[in-house]
Each structure stands twice: as C-alpha cells, then as structure tokens.
Structure 1
C-alpha cells in the first residue's frame, strides 16, 4: 500500500495532467447587464459598468438602420455601425450590428475584423462576397435578398455589388468591438508611412508606383 505522501503526490500529478476543462470558456455573467459608463476613467478590457440604478431603456436602444448611409465616396460603400461606442448596452454582450450600403458597382473593400466573426444578410439587391483563408484559398459566391454569408474571424473579406442597382444588408458581428483593418488603407495610408522600399518589395512594384498609390491614401 502506498504511503500517504506518495498517494498525495500521485493525485497531484494526475490532476496536473487532466485537461483544464473549467478554464476552456469565459466565465458566465454574474449580473443582468453591464451598461458601459462612458464617463469612467477606469481602464478595463471593455468598459466599466454604469450604476444599474441609473440605467434606462435608452442605453439599450439604437436608431439609424432605417436610413441608407452616404455611398458617394471612392469605393461606393458605407456602413452604419452599432457597437459599444454608440450603444452602451452592448458592453459585455459580445455582439454588434452594422447596416452596410453598397452603391451600384460599389465595393466594401478587403478588410478584417480581428475580434469578431461576421455574418452578412442581404436585405435588398445582390452582392458578390468572399474571404481568403490563411492558405490563400478564396471562398466566394453571389448572394441575393434573404441570403446570408459568414466571414470567419480575422480573415480578409469583401463585398462587391456587380449590378446597376443599390444593395444593402445587415451584418452581425460576434464582438461588442470587432475592430476594422482595411487592407489597402492600413498598408498605403499608415501613419507614420510604411517605407517605399518595404512596399515595393512586398508588392513587386517600383518606388514610383508605391508613391502614386500612397498619394491616393493621403501619404
């Protein structure tokens, strides 16, 4: 029979090797909600909670998806975003919504959301949508009114209106603050600017072409 000290050591080793199942998910909420307090100076991963006694229905309400956004820009698309920055009731809710408007032959340019998976549902019109995997494979197709398409978290994706009619849809994102990195803007419009030498070598173009492209993004 094993001595008590040896038995204790064996149990500790077994526990250490067991899968950490209790740590495999986020902890459950301990309160009904955590409405964002925009006046707080406390720095946390998210936003500090507002005093529940001061919370109103307005903290959970957003108006603006009934109006199309202005698409008279260089790419022919625009978004109306309801995230934690405009809707305090989303704090800790792990969700946000967007109205996406795309003009005829307009493009929602290649971009990523580093903190959220996206699902686009077309309300009116038709869009050519797609994303590129980390292996460089394109998954793309044309979707129409009532169709939905999922863009996995962090992958570069786009939506292009191939028709002469406007299109729009509602986007759901699995984060209260999904983030947005537009590929072309972030590379050619960074501040401070990425050097011409880096971009010329990366895109296999000359420095003069790099400078011409940078000029379109304000650099």
Structure 2
C-alpha cells in the first residue's frame, strides 16, 4: 500500500513542477545561436500560435519566375523552440528555385498543384532527382544542395516543412554572384570565364 501512495505522490508532485510548454519568441529581444528569448507568458496570446501569411499566392513576375513565402520564427513567434516551420513556394511555368541549402534543417515538400522536378545532391555528388506530381512528397536531408523546377504548363504550388523554426538559407548563385567575392577568385574556383562572371554579378547585384 505504501508503494502505491508513494507512486501517486510522485505523480501529483511532478504535475505541479515548473513546466515550460512553449517559448514564444520575443521578437523585440536580440536573437542568439539558440534562437529568440521567450516572451513573458503573461504577454502570450493565441495570435502568437496562428499565422495567416501563406494563404495568398506569391508574385512570380521575376527573373526566376518563383516566389517563396516563409513561416519561420521571425514571422510566426509561436514556432520558436518547437523544431519546425513551413513555407509556401509558387512557381510559374518554367520557374525555378535555384540550387540552395538549409544548414539548420531537413526539408519535406508536398506538391499541391502542378508538376515539378525536384532534386538534391549528396556529399558524394550523387544526384537524386524525380519529377513530382500533385500529392507527391520528397525529403531533402539537412544541409544538402537541392532545387525545384516547374516543368509543367501551369503554375505549381508547393508546401514545405522544415525540422527547425529557423532552418537558414544559402542560395549558391547568390553566394557567388551577389556577394563581394572578387571575380578572379570566382573564376578560379568555378572555372567560369570573366564575361560570364561579370554577367551574373550584374544580374544578381554582386560586386568585386
């Protein structure tokens, strides 16, 4: 009988222990390597756990014919510390999300409309590529380069989820041609000629 009483005492005591159910991001505080500081619980509202920013199609009238709208912790504070986030990708016919990586998360994508080619490249340079149709899902392991291209004749809609509230993003072409990295170093490390490097820097806004 005593051990039963002790068991129930342990349950009751544990239930009253200090439990932090969530850490809603305090967007007014500095962000550190571990994420945002927690908002004072008394200031948390239901709106911190609701985000309506993915309901409208993005503007694809740009040179990549694509739009990415993210729901990361900086926009959706209730995600902070939960290890997940989402994004909406709109692709016009012929549109592409350039080769990029997410250093802080793996990614799962779901094709909701249209048809896209999706692919990632492993660290041994093996390419995993597939044409995806509506309802298909593909996963990209954390940190690996990947891309999507709309190969159909109609707009494509992709829903994306990440295993982090702040997955990070590095677009390869932006890192090379939208930065101040000297052109001569880009030419030596990519084997592109000077004219092509200058063209891409002019297109993407790089210098050097």
- Within a 5 Å distance, the mapping from 1:124-139 to structure 2 comes to 124-139=113-128
Q: Does 1:213 align with 2:178?
A: no
Bigger shift: residues 32-41 or 53-62:
32-41
| 1: CA distance, partners of 2:160 / 2:20 | 27
CA contact (8 A) 2:140 2:146 kept: yes
CA pair 42-175 structure 1, distance change in 2 beyond 3 A: closer
| 1: CA distance, partners of 2:141 / 2:59 | 27
Q: Does 1:175 align with 2:171?
A: no
| 2: CA distance, partners of 1:164 / 1:114 | 32
- Aligned length, in residue pairs: 189
Question: How far 1:30 sits from its partner (Å)?
Answer: 4.3
Bigger shift: residues 200-209 or 51-60:
200-209
TM-score (norm 2): 0.87
- Within a 5 Å distance, the mapping from 1:39-118 to structure 2 comes to 39-41=28-30, 43=32, 45-118=34-107
CA contact (8 A) 2:111 2:135 kept: yes
When the two chains are superposed, the root-mean-square deviation of aligned CA atoms in Å is: 1.5
Correspondence for 1:194 among 168, 178, 181: 181
Deviations 1:164-217 (A, max 9, x none): 100001100001100110110111111xx1112211112213223321221111
Consecutive unaligned residues in structure 1, runs of 5 or more: 1-28
Consecutive unaligned residues in structure 2, runs of 5 or more: 1-17
TM-score (norm 1): 0.83
Give the secondary-structure state (helix, strand or coil) at the position aligned to 1:202.
helix
Q: Does 1:142 align with 2:167?
A: no
- Number of the residue aligned with 1:3: none
